[in-house]
Structure 1
């Protein structure tokens, strides 16, 4: 059987750390998502790939060439990327533009002893790069990379210098070539001692401490050198911009000493007061002075960046450096600063982002290579992109960006007809991802986007199941609290979903006339979400909140749920796409751990974390009345996963106590369920993490930390026999999902997810018990940490070939969808 696996979608949030994002000259953006380096394309708002290789959180990424050197990169066939992690490891990656392939070129030797905090690089020529890396271990290392001139060549790496900066580490660095000095470099670094330290050195040798620049009154957070500024046809100065937690931004000028002239009168003028130190590099000396102080942000300014230089048409000048600076701050805004045309005073010309009450500030801002787009990444792991769409004047409009969870994704569930995928995470949100687009784009898998964020909670969410019954879209989620919560899709979501899946309007009749709830409002504590009704006018809701009194503070600001006609951006998602909570299910004694629904939408089973048999009971809930209709006793430790057989007659549970149990379930009355324990059996030597039923029969698979997968058969509804054990895997099995292929032969596909993040597909035939490995997913497509859950969604393509989609989620913050063609 030939199987082809393609990547259909990756959803992931950005690590919440400064210096994490880089926009390359190739017009791709890199960022760290847990231990992976993720790459996204701003044009399509899709994450293209994640690169495995790091064993710790990725702290910073830096393209070679970055957008700053895009004017040199028009004819490059290969671009490179540096990434540094929390263990001190730095990796160099190669990206080939022709075949879009990635290659892990080398690990930088002589690791930092602690996390890498910042990487800065300059392109001396097309094949010569010098980069500096700073770390919490108090060292700043200087490296030279000679890139290969032809494809497949080797990169040569050599260390130029290692600068010890003391117990107060540096968190911001920037490199530049000094004008008029014949190849001398300067390195600016800033950190916890509020000073900017300037070093100078030759391309090949040691860097010496040249001077200190004082002015900021708090930690320095970001530094960026401009390219040399041309005046009267020659380069005479360099500008450095710095930002700090003192909320201020300063522009410093480094001017060639000779060009200042030596007349005495100037010494007594005002400018002598803001002159800084003088330093020399080789035979030239430079005067540093404060050019401007920019005040406008109301909170820490985490990043400043010069607009990338553009290719110049002037003879002899390679590029033109625009006088324009982008700053990003924790006050939730990004600003563009430019000198006023008449006075030359630097002013704030553009401010974006101030309307987002859901973001908790920005960690960094970046220019696109052409200077017409700006990107911020924020506290919620989110991206925010604005593009200048004005022709004669500036008009910055928000654009679509990829989104996803910024913590471990704990569970996923497909909608009843597979229209969307719902995921929940330890970032305390649940999110809905759906393909959005017309027929043509969807034939190649379509572009997937996050279209709603139904639950924004105050606890880590551990499990979710979509209720499969008729009618409205509903789900049950369980978090680090003892309550399960039930959510109903509001009218605004059902209408949005119609736009997203306009090509497949099989469920337009599914928007019931009786849905009176438009959306939901968030409470201040972030636990219960209250409904907003269709008829309620704003005056009514105000009166209501005044009567209740206690709620007046809780529901501020008001959500405005609307029907969305294109994929929403972060501001809309975080606030206006909530679902109202309809019920709470009380009964468990500890934090909820697993939940599942039967295939008719009549019953929900749930379990919680447990150390004893009395707490490890499984609760059954009747969906129509939301009453508890059964408490199943069998296990002595946490039940890790539950699943109903496809005829709904049996419930399978697996547990930390290494046993599985099967319960026979019968509906005897409207609110009565008859349940009995049929089998309890020790199945593995370690925790059983996962189980999955065969869709065509009473066979099931169990997967365990002991690195084995076993296939069992339930005979006559009373005893279990072991059919086969798959060969030993290389790591713990954390997720399983069984897909039926041929009901006559009782053949199927078993997807196996491992703790290493890798996924394999096995073909199973039951008539003659037999299993064969069909395909190992390419590691570049897989997770980089444990796979938490796998779920199949079946979509028939044509008679002879079947196209399926497999969704997975993992501890690497990613939700992934694979296209599997058999």
Structure 2
């Protein structure tokens, strides 16, 4: 499920454990409204700026009694909220406000103590007394910004773990203090104790530094205790701590059984790649798995071996973009999708078909391009070749290597002979040389160099830079993040130069012979569309018409026309004229202008019907329009400008239209299936059929409006239908029943929807 209620970035998520019944509540933090929201309850409004840390605890084992919540925000306050009763409409009331430092970033609550850490390098302890929290103690020691604190109970003692940018982890012990301490010999060494008293019970507690853990070489961002609980809710031995650092490692710490000294037991992490380490980490409930969240948005999962307890191996985990996803395309055979985004990566997702099970799940199986610029668009050129455009003036063309095709066959279950008949001619993989920017092909002969060969072998890339060099692996399951980062690049086979500004859109015709591209533009000379040959990679033609950026290009399914839509609120239609000398030449056969334009704002998207008779446009003015005539192929010379008009009524989608897509498979009664994506993240499916010579109100039919739990949270950037009926990875008996729609959005998500066309 996707829980949507916030209107800004979610900064923190916490589970609140209910000890008596073992069920959970989900706690979320929002940014725009600066509130804490409890699912099945009301938002907690009080903070005036973004909330970035939260923790919660039940004050009683009884199911219907107090829930205490602490939240910290950029308004320099920590606020305490309490709930009495478990009814869904019970409100939570603001109790106390504490003014702290501007950048206090972490807190943890365990009755009766709240611990807060910030950029003053100190931990502040607030003690609950007489129903109020009062600042009682400050724990110094860290020498830089404190990034994480967490409580744990072990028997009758309370432990606090803290981590900071000084690369250290500190463990503090809180225990009840006897009124008369035991006598000790003179000269003995004792740890310094800080003592505080809880007035409600008139009990004194002593806080002492238990241990300092030094092992990380960079900022430690998170520290967590293994959640090993007994029936009464107290933590049991063995106690273990998990820490995550910017040094690209995650460490498990555990006290030695004999000496009690805390030691590093296991270290896992990333090797190589363009990464900056880990932000957070967690144990699984039984402590047999570790999950970590990396700087670039990736999740890493490791599982403990049942034979060797100190051996942890990477496991398959979900992955995806960590910034806005700008474009997504199906391969022509409908067996995988490729997406590009502002996280500067191109990612390939495919269905994983387990041999022993019938279950099919989608995973990222390759990262063909890791770029230095934000990627904005791509187009497939056949099955295993694509061209991408980024915030640079160059188009780059990539082709799949042999190792990818082999692994793709293993993971999807598609026989190798059906995928590629000439795989022996392909390079094994690709790598990026030191100080290089392009993916260079790696052939089998390049990898045959042995370390003990003659002096000349030292000059090869594999020996000079072994950590960045491609190493082929045979995979039977989706690769882990380490492999995706470095070992799944595709060789770059061509660069296309010609545009004067950042590339904005690109398209390839259905016969894979021509590429059309356009760049950002504020003048007519820069808004020209460039056509390229995929055989010679030479520039074929420059098409000049629009005055501002062309936002999307689309070839008709029969390759007779090229459609362009633009920021200047107009569209242009270009007809292919056969030319034996230099390839096809396109001429403008129809367009709108300031007198004939229907759209009043930017036209963001366009697409064609499968029969090439009509095309669709979607605009920021909330309008969706289908254009054409009876048959575009019979347009006679000289009357094109007047013959193409709106064939549908103007559809008001209710919000700015950012993406449109028409399925190549019709409904059983012959209606076109149209998907419309909106700026608010909604995706709506319509069917349309021309009912006569003039548009009527009955030509549009709304069939499905995807609900909030499945739609995007931000603007839909692209919609792309699978070209064939059926579901990728499935051998459906009734394959004609299903269609698949891929979407991507500014919320960093790529989604695939199964659509039952008989229900439309």
* Same-fold call, TM cutoff 0.5: yes
Work out the CA distance in 1 between the residues paired with 2:627 and 2:211. Answer: 74
- Cα 1:806/1:684, change in 2 over 3 Å: same
| Distance in 1 of aligned mates of 2:661 and 2:532 | 24
2:120 to 184, 193, 209: 193
**Matching residue of 1:537:** 447
Matched-pair contact (CA < 8 Å) for 2:406–2:416: no
Aligned residues between the structures? 727
In 1: Cα distance, 2:245 partner to 2:617 partner: 49
Decide whether aligned partners of structure 1 residues 667 and 322 sit closer, same or farther in structure 2, where only a CA change above 3 A counts.
farther
Pick aligned residue for 2:223 from 288, 304, 324: 304
Superposed CA deviations along residues 14-36 of structure 1, whole A, max 9, x for unmatched, are xxxxxxxxxxxxxxxxxxxxxxx
Q: Aligned-pair distance for 1:498?
A: 0.8
CA contact (8 A) 1:482 1:586 kept: yes
- The CA deviation at 1:205 is 2.6
- Aligned 8 A contact 2:36 2:51 in 1: no
Contact 1:87/1:113 (8 A) holds in 2: no
User: Paired residue for 1:171?
Assistant: 105
Q: Establish whether residue 377 from structure 1 lines up as the match of residue 307 from structure 2.
A: no
What is the CA-CA distance between 1:795 and the residue it aligns to? 2.4
For the residue of structure 2 that corresponds to 1:572, the secondary structure is helix
Match of 1:44 in 2: none
Contact 1:634 1:680 in 2 (8 A): no
What's the counterpart of residue 449 of structure 1?
A: 363
RMSD over equivalenced CA pairs, Å: 2.6
CA contact (8 A) 2:42 2:91 kept: no
* Alignment counterpart, residue 766 of structure 1, candidates 674, 690, 698: 690
CA contact (8 A) 1:805 1:820 kept: yes
Alignment partner, residue 107 of structure 1: 43
Q: C-alpha distance in 2, partners of 1:293/1:148?
A: 41
Match in the other structure for 2:14? 62
Q: Structure 1 residues 306 and 803 mapped into 2: Cα distance closer, same or farther (>3 Å)? A: same
Query: Gaps (5+ residues) in structure 2?
Result: 727-731
Contact 1:310/1:321 (<8 A) preserved? no
**Corresponding residue SS for 1:285:** strand
The answer (yes or no) to whether the contact 1:212–1:277 under 8 Å persists in 2 is no
- Pick from 437, 458, 475 the counterpart of residue 527 of structure 1: 437
Q: Deviations over 1:590-617 (max 9, x none)?
A: 0000000001111110000000000000
Structure 2 residue aligned with 1:786: 715
Trace 1:189-588 onto structure 2 (pairs within 5 A).
Answer: 189-202=116-129, 205-227=131-153, 229-230=154-155, 235=156, 237-258=157-178, 261-263=180-182, 265=184, 269-272=188-191, 274-282=192-200, 283-312=202-231, 320=236, 322-353=238-269, 355=271, 357-391=273-307, 393-438=309-354, 446-468=360-382, 473-502=384-413, 504-505=414-415, 508=418, 510-524=420-434, 527-539=437-449, 557-588=468-499
Q: 1:140 to 1:512 in 2, by over 3 A?
A: same
Helix, strand or coil at the partner of 1:311: coil
> TM-score normalised to the size of structure 2?
0.91
> Match of 2:42, SS?
strand
Does the 8 Å CA contact 1:137/1:169 hold for their aligned counterparts?
no
Instruction: For 2:743 and 2:417, locate their aligned partners in 1 and report how far apart those are by CA, in whole Å.
Output: 25
CA distance in 1, matches of 2:377, 2:654: 27
1:706 maps to: 621
In structure 2, the residue corresponding to 1:536 is in which secondary structure? helix
Is the 1:88–1:116 Cα contact (8 Å) retained in structure 2?
Answer: no
Paired residue secondary structure (1:58): coil
> Take 1:532 and 1:668, find their aligned partners in 2: how far apart are those partners?
38
Alpha-carbon distance change, 515 to 277 in structure 1, aligned in 2, over 3 angstroms: farther
2:644 to 720, 729, 740: 720
Match of 2:678 among 754, 765, 781: 754
Work out whether residues 325 and 338 of structure 1, in 8 Å CA contact, stay in contact via their aligned partners in 2. Answer: yes
Q: Deviations over 1:222-258 (max 9, x none)?
A: 111111x32xxxx2x2111111111111111112122
Q: 1:374 to 1:155 in 2, by over 3 A?
A: farther
Distance across 1 between alignment mates of 2:308 and 2:498: 63
2:212 is paired with a residue of what secondary structure?
strand
Give the direction of change, closer, same or farther, for the CA distance of 1:480–1:552 in structure 2 (3 Å limit). Answer: farther
Relative to structure 1, is the Cα distance of residues 251 and 154 closer, same or farther in structure 2, using a 3 angstrom cutoff?
same
Partner of 1:132 in structure 2? 70
Out of 59, 66, 84, which is 2:29 matched to?
84
- Which deviates more from structure 2 when the two are superposed, residues 388-397 or residues 809-818? 388-397
Q: CA deviation at 1:92?
A: 3.1
Contact 1:276 1:290 in 2 (8 A): no
Equivalent of 2:51 in 116, 119, 141: 116
Counterpart contact for 1:521–1:555, Cα < 8 Å:
no
Equivalent pair of 1:161/1:205 in contact (CA under 8 Å):
no
Query: Contact 1:147–1:156 (CA<8 Å) still a contact in 2?
Result: no
Provide the C-alpha distance between the structure 2 equivalents of 1:800 and 1:602, rounded to a whole number of angstroms: 30
The 5 A counterparts of 1:625-636 are: 625-636=536-547
**Cα deviations by residue, 1:471-504 (Å, 9 ceiling, x for unpaired):** x6100000000000000000011111111221x4
In structure 2, distance between residues paired with 1:188 and 1:641? 53
Structure 2: distance between partners of 1:336 and 1:702: 55
Q: Distance in 1 between matches of 2:336 and 2:217?
A: 40
Structure 1 window deviating more from structure 2 (710-719 vs 675-684): it is: 710-719
